[in-house]
Amino acid sequence: MEFTDDTLLFAAIGVMTLAAALLPRLLGKLPISIPMVFLAAGIIVFALIPDLPDPHPSDHPDITLHLTEICVLVSLMGAGLAINRPLRWRTWSTTWRLLAITMPLSIAAVAVLGWVGLGLGAASALLLAAALAPTDPVLATEVQVSEPVDDENADDEVRFALTSEAGLNDGLAFPFTYATIAISMVGLAPSGWFTDWFLIDVLWRITIGVIAGIGTGWLFGKLFFSAHLAGRKVVDQAEGFVAIAAIFLAYGIAETAEGYGFIAVFVCAVTIRASERGHGYHQVLHKFVEQIERLLTIAVIVLLGGAIARGLFADIGWIEILVALIILLIVRPLAGWIGLTPGKTGPRERSVIAFFGVRGVGSLFYIAYATQNGYFPDGDQLWSIVGLVIVGSIIIHGLAATPTMRLIDTTRHRITRRRGGDHTDVATTPV
Summarised one tens digit per residue, pLDDT across range 383-422 is: 999 999 999 999 999 888 888 988 898 888 888 788 777 6
Do 109 and 6 fall into the same domain? no
262 has pLDDT over 50: yes
Cα angle: 147, vertex 150, 156; to 5 degrees:
60
Q: Given a cut of 80, is residue 36 above it in pLDDT?
A: yes
Residue 145: the pLDDT is 85
pLDDT tens digits, residue range 57-89? 999 999 999 999 999 999 999 999 999 888 888
- pLDDT of the residue at 35: 87
Q: Are 94 and 20 members of one domain?
A: no
If asked whether residues 160 and 17 sit together in one domain, one would say: no
Give the pTM.
0.91
Residue range 268-326, pLDDT digits in tens: 999 998 887 777 777 888 888 888 988 899 999 999 999 999 999 999 999 999 999 99
Q: Are residues 22 and 36 in the same domain?
A: no
Query: How confident is the model at residue 222, as a pLDDT?
Result: 84
Percentage of residues of the chain with pLDDT beyond 90: 56
Whether residue 11 is found in the same domain as residue 135? no
Domain with 404, as residue range(s), is 31-428
Residues 294 and 401 in one domain: yes
The mean pLDDT of the chain is: 88
Whether residue 154 sits in one domain with residue 141: yes
What is the structure's pLDDT at 34? 83
Residue 194 has pLDDT above 90, yes or no: yes
What pLDDT is stored for residue 1 in this prediction? 45
In this structure, are 98 and 245 located in the same domain?
Answer: yes
- List pLDDT tens digits, range 131-178: 999 888 667 667 888 778 877 778 889 999 999 999 999 999 999 999
pLDDT for position 13: 73
* Confidence (pLDDT) at 3: 46
Compute the average pLDDT of residues 362-366. Answer: 95
Looking at the fold, whether 11 and 56 belong to one and the same domain comes out as no
Q: Are residues 197 and 285 in the same domain?
A: yes
Report how many domains make up the chain.
2
Render pLDDT for 204-261 as a digit per residue (tens, 0 to 9). Answer: 999 999 999 999 999 998 887 765 555 555 555 556 788 899 999 999 999 999 999 9
Residues 296 and 316 in one domain: yes
What CATH number is given to the structural domain containing 220?
1.20.1530.20
Residues 10 and 119 in one domain: no
